[in-house]
Amino acid sequence: MPSKYRIHNSQEIYFVTFAVVEWVDALSRRYYKDLFLESLKYCQENKGFIIYAYVIMNNHVHLIASADDKYNLSDILCDLKKFTSKKLTKAIEENIQESRKRWMLWLFRSNGQRNSNNEIHQFWQQDNHPVCLDTAEMIDQRLTYLHNNPVAEGIVEEPEHYVYSSARDYAGIKGLLDVVFLY
C-alpha cells in the first residue's frame, strides 16, 4: 500500500521531520546541534540540498527543503540521517561530560536491535513524514509552525531569538545556515 508520505518529485518543496528515537532530547547540547548543522552545510555544498527553512530542537529537526535538479531528495535525506546518526552517537559516546550517556546509548542500541535496517544503533526514527508543500497556504502554515517551535516549547519568546532556526534569516538577521527564501 503506497504511503501518502513519500517524496515523488525531488525538486518540489517538502516539509520533513527527523525525530530522535523515543523523542529522546539527544540534541540538547549545542555541540550536538552544531554537528548536525555542519552536516546540513555539507549537503548544501556537495549534494544539491536546498534548504528554505529549518529548526533544530532538542529531540527533533524540521526542514523545508528540496533538491537541485541533478539530485534526489530522498537519497540526500537518507545519507544525512545515516551520517548524522553515526556522528552524533559517536559524539555522545566520546563525551566524558555527557551525564546521560549510558541511558541514551542503551536506548539507541535497544531501538537498533529491533530494526533490521540498522547495524548497531538507531538514532533517528525511521520516517521523515515528507509533506509536499504545493500551495502558498501550506508553505505559510508549515513555515510558521517550524519557526514557532522554540516559542511553543518555552525556549524563547520570539522565533528569531532562537539561534538554531531560519527564523533569524526571515527576520533579517544572518543565521547559522544559508537559506533560500520562500518569498
Amino acid code (one letter) for 39:
S
Supply the pTM of this predicted model.
Answer: 0.92
pLDDT by 10s per residue, the chain, length 183? 345 667 888 789 999 999 999 999 999 999 999 999 999 999 999 999 999 999 999 999 999 999 999 999 999 999 999 999 999 999 999 999 999 999 999 999 999 888 766 668 899 998 888 999 999 999 999 999 999 999 999 999 999 999 999 999 999 999 999 999 998
Grid cell 544503533 in the structure block, residue: 121
Closest CA to 24 of 59, 62, 60: 59
Q: Which three cell numbers stand for residue 138?
A: 501550506
Q: Where do the domains of the chain lie, and which CATH numbers do they carry?
A: 14-97+124-170 (3.30.70.1290)
Amino acid code (one letter) for 72:
N
The pLDDT tens digits of the residues spanning 65-106 come to: 999 999 999 999 999 999 999 999 999 999 999 999 999 999
Amino acid code (one letter) for 153:
E
DSSP string covering 53-89, please?
Answer: EEEE-SSEEEEEEEE-TTS-HHHHHHHHHHHHHHHHH
